[in-house]
C-alpha cells in the first residue's frame, strides 16, 4: 500500500530529458495547478456498515452474480470475508483463508482480489499476494465451493503469474482488476526502496514499474496465461523490446487503479516519492514519467533518460507533500503524502458526484474529486470533505470500493467501511 516510500537487461533509451520537459511544459496551467471548484459537492464521511469491522482492510469487491454479496480483503491476516450488501448486516463470514504463507511488511500481504467476469458461470476469482522465501508477488486463481457461495475452495489454487524476486518490501503495487476487454490487469511497483534503485521505471523489458495485462482464459507458450494481441510488444515493432505482458510503463507504485464503468477509462493513483502524488489515466503503451518525473516535475537521478519508444504522458492532477516549499506549492495547502486511487462515481445516492473521479490520501485523510473533458483537460477539481471539521472522522484511507450499483465506499485502517454523504 502507499504508506511509504529479476529485471531483464535494459535496452536502448534515446528520448532525452529536454523532450520530456517540452511535453510536460505544454500541459495547460489549469491541469498543473488545479484549483477548488464549487461545482463539486460538499460531503463528509460516515460509517456505512456499523455492525462490521475488519483488520487492515485493503480491497472491497463484488462478483457479477445474483447473491448481492460484498467481499473484503484483510491484508496481513490474508483472509477474505463476505457479507450481504445491507447497511445493517452483521453477517460477516470467512470466504477464504489464504493457504500460503505471506510476507507482512507494511506494503506486503494479501493485496488484490478480482472476480472473473463470468464468475456466475465458472466460480473463478483471482488474488494477488506477497510470497516469501524468496520475496516475490503472486497472482493465483481459486474457485468458489460448489456447495456454498460464501466459501471458497482453498485447495483449488492455481498459480497464474509470479514476479521476479523482489529485494525490498515496498512498492508491490498489488491491485488486480479485469478490464472491460476481459483481460486481467496487474499493477507492479518499481521494485522498492527509494530513487528507483533497480532503474526499472523507464525499462519496459522488465515487469517492475509497469502495469501488466494478461489473458487468463487463453493460456499459451507453456504459461498459465496468454498475451493480448494488442499489447504493445505484439502490436507494433517499435515496442518489440517490451516484455510481452507490459501494458504501460513509467509507474512508481500504483496503489489502486479502476475502470470507469461507463466509459472504460482506466484511472490510477501513482504514489510519489518525496514531493508529489499524482492521478493518471492509463492508455495502451503509455509512459507516465517515473523515474524522470515525479508528477509534473523533473526527478533527476543517475543520468536517467526517457524510454525511446514512448514519450512521457503527464498526469491529470497532482498534489504536494507538506514539506514542499511554499513557493513550489504556489499557495496550495491541500497536501498529502500517499495517494490512494479511487473510482469515477456512477452511483445514484449523490447525483452531484456523478462522473467525478474520487481519490484520497492515506496519511492526511483528505478526499478529492476531479472531472475532465474529452481531451483529458481538467474541468473541475477540489476537496470533497473538510478534514478540519469536528464532525469529520480522520480516516487512513487504505482503499475505495464500489458495489454493483456503483455506490462508493471507503476502507479505513480504523477497520470500518465508510461512505460519502452530503453535508447538511
Q: How many domains does the chain have?
A: 1
Q: Cell 516535475: give the residue.
A: 297
Flag whether 417 is in a domain: no
Flag whether 277 is in a domain: yes
Residue 82: φ, ψ to 5°: -115, 155
Flag whether 362 is in a domain: no
Structural domain range at position 71: 17-31+67-335
Cell numbers at 69, concatenated: 454479496
The continuous run of DSSP H or E covering 32 comes out as: helix 29-32
Residue 32 has a pLDDT of 43
Residue 12 has a pLDDT of 27
In this structure, what CATH number is given to the domain that contains residue 213?
Answer: 2.120.10.30
Distance, in Å, from the CA atom of 6 to the CA atom of 138, rounded to the nearest integer, reads: 14
Flag whether 372 is in a domain: no
pLDDT digits (tens, 9 = 90+) for 238-263: 999 999 999 999 999 999 999 999 99
| Closest CA relative to residue 317, chosen from 372, 365, 355, 356 | 372
Flag whether 57 is in a domain: no
Flag whether 182 is in a domain: yes
Burial tier of 326 (Cβ tally within 10 Å: 0-12, 13-18, 19+): exposed
- What DSSP line would sit under 85-105, residue for residue? S-TT----EEEEE--S----S
The series of mean pLDDT values per 10 residues for the chain, 424 residues long, is 34 32 38 60 97 98 96 98 98 97 96 98 98 96 96 98 94 96 97 92 97 98 98 98 98 98 98 96 98 94 89 97 91 92 98 97 98 96 95 97 98 98 88
| Closest CA relative to residue 122, chosen from 91, 78, 153, 162 | 153
Residue 74 has a pLDDT of 98
Flag whether 104 is in a domain: yes
Burial tier of 11 (Cβ tally within 10 Å: 0-12, 13-18, 19+): middle
Flag whether 420 is in a domain: no
The structure's pTM equals 0.92
Amino acid at each position: 500500500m502507499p504508506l511509504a516510500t529479476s529485471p531483464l537487461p535494459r535496452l536502448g533509451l534515446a528520448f532525452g530529458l529536454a523532450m520530456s520537459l517540452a511535453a510536460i511544459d505544454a500541459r495547460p496551467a489549469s491541469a498543473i495547478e488545479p484549483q477548488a471548484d464549487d461545482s463539486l459537492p460538499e460531503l463528509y464521511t460516515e460509517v456505512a456498515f456499523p455492525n462490521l469491522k475488519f483488520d487492515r482492510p485493503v480491497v472491497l469487491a463484488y462478483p457479477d452474480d445474483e447473491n448481492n454479496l460484498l467481499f473484503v480483503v484483510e491484508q496481513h491476516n490474508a483472509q477474505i470475508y463476505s457479507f450481504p450488501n445491507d447497511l445493517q448486516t452483521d453477517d460477516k463470514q470467512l470466504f477464504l483463508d489464504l493457504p500460503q504463507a505471506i510476507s507482512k511488511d507494511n506494503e506486503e500481504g494479501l493485496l488484490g482480489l478480482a472476480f472473473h467476469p463470468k464468475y456466475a458461470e465458472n466460480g473463478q476469482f483471482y488474488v494477488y499476494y506477497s510470497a516469501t522465501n524468496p520475496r516475490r508477488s503472486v497472482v493465483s486463481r481459486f474457485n468458489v465451493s460448489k456447495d456454498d457461495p460464501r466459501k471458497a475452495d482453498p485447495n483449488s489454487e492455481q498459480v497464474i503469474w509470479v514476479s521476479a524476486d523482489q529485494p525490498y518490501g515496498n512498492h508491490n503495487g498489488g491491485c488486480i482488476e479485469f478490464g472491460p476487454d476481459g483481460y486481467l490487469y496487474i499493477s507492479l511497483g518499481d521494485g522498492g526502496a527509494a530513487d528507483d534503485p533497480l532503474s526499472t521505471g523507464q525499462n519496459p523489458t522488465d515487469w517492475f514499474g509497469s502495469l501488466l495485462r494478461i489473458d487468463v482464459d487463453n493460456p499459451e507458450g507453456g504459461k498459465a496465461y496468454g498475451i493480448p494481441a494488442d499489447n504493445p510488444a505484439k502490436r507494433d515493432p517499435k515496442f518489440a523490446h517490451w516484455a510481452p505482458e507490459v501494458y504501460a510503463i513509467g509507474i512508481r507504485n500504483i496503489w489502486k487503479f479502476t475502470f470507469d464503468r461507463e466509459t472504460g477509462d482506466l484511472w490510477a493513483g501513482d504514489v510519489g516519492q518525496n514531493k508529489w502524488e499524482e492521478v493518471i489515466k492509463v492508455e495502451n503503451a503509455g509512459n507516465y514519467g517515473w523515474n524522470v518525473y515525479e508528477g509534473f516535475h523533473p526527478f533527476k537521478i543517475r543520468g536517467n533518460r526517457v524510454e525511446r519508444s514512448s514519450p512521457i504522458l503527464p498526469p491529470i492532477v497532482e498534489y504536494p507533500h507538506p514539506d514542499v516549499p511554499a513557493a513550489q506549492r504556489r499557495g496550495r495547502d491541500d497536501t498529502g503524502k500517499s495517494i490512494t486511487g479511487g473510482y469515477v462515481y456512477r452511483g445514484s445516492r449523490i447525483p452531484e458526484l456523478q462522473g467525478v473521479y474520487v481519490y484520497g490520501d492515506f496519511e492526511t485523510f483528505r478526499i478529492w474529486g476531479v472531472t475532465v473533458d474529452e481531451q483529458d483537460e481538467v474541468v473541475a477539481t477540489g476537496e470533497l470533505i473538510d478534514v478540519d471539521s469536528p464532525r469529520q472522522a480522520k480516516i487512513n484511507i487504505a482503499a475505495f470500493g464500489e458495489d454493483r450499483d456503483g455506490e462508493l465506499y471507503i476502507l479505513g485502517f480504523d477497520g470500518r467501511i465508510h461512505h460519502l454523504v452530503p453535508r447538511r
